[in-house]
Amino acid sequence: MKIMWTNEALTRLRDIKTYNAHNNPDRARLRIQKIIDRTDIIISNPQIGRVVPEISRPDIRELLFHNYRIVYRVKRDYIEILTVFEGHRLLNNSELND
């Protein structure tokens, strides 16, 4: 399986990096890299993440990483990372790119 990142997800990563870079740019880069690395586990086991509670669709799942939610969609031939955001928020349907 291959992982594809949506524009929404990449924008969210940039926003996270920009926000965290004010305090420590090196740590911000490392945090983003760790979020990206966390998604590697999905390649061998696409069902590892839980179904997103506010959506309840079996094809849309999430991994938790520290205080972030990494939301992805399981497609036939690849995994699509839809968005990344802080865990205290609820997923907004506009972030799904349906």
Region 62-81 average pLDDT? 95
* Residues contacting residue 25 through CB under 8 Å, at least 6 positions apart: none
Q: How confident is the model at residue 81 (pLDDT cuts 50, 70, 90)?
A: very high
Q: How confident is the model at residue 4 (pLDDT cuts 50, 70, 90)?
A: very high
3-state SS, residue 33: helix
Region 67-72 average pLDDT? 95
The domains of the chain are located at 1-66
Q: What pLDDT sits at residue 48?
A: 94
Region 87-96 average pLDDT? 75
Distance CA 13, CA 31 (A): 10
Interior angle at CA 21, CA 80 and CA 87, nearest 5: 45
